[in-house]
Amino acid sequence: MKILLWCDDLMSRTRIESAWKAAGAQVLRKNTTETPDLVVMDLTARDALAEIGRLQGVYPGVAILAFGPHVDGDAFKQARAAGAGEIVARGAVIDRVLGKLGRPAG
């Protein structure tokens, strides 16, 4: 599975990316020319809500999973309105995608 991870936080990105790569995923960068199977958007990234809308246009039909701080219910609602089909708390994003990869959660 090719996953476009949109995350500006280097610490989070490194942790998330290493878990998914270990499970066999290919993690794409923002400037990729490849079409992902899944887009994963960090809601704390710069212009995250606008990027969700833009990425829907660039990759029509590709699911968008957004994640952010569990206490930010407003951001979750805004992400859903922007087009994210699935929203999870930051602490659950690794396991949610591992499930999509058919791997057991950590």
> Taking residues 2-21, what's their average pLDDT?
94
Question: Is 106 inside any structural domain?
Answer: no
Question: Is 46 inside any structural domain?
Answer: yes
Beta-bridged to residue 89, according to DSSP, are 68
Note the pTM of the prediction, 2 decimals: 0.91
Question: What CATH number does the domain containing 54 carry?
Answer: 3.40.50.2300
Q: In this predicted model, what pLDDT tens digit does every residue of 26-53 receive, in sequence order? A: 999 989 999 999 999 999 999 999 999 9
Structural tokens at position 31: 């400037």
* Boundaries of domain holding 26: 2-100
Q: In this predicted model, what pLDDT tens digit does every residue of 41-89 receive, in sequence order? A: 999 999 999 999 999 999 999 999 999 987 767 888 989 999 999 999 9
| Number of CB atoms found within 10 A of residue 85's CB | 14
Measured distance CA(46)–CA(105) in Å, rounded: 29
By residue count, the chain amounts to 106
Question: Is 105 inside any structural domain?
Answer: no
Query: How many domains does the structure of the chain reveal?
Result: 1
Question: Is 42 inside any structural domain?
Answer: yes
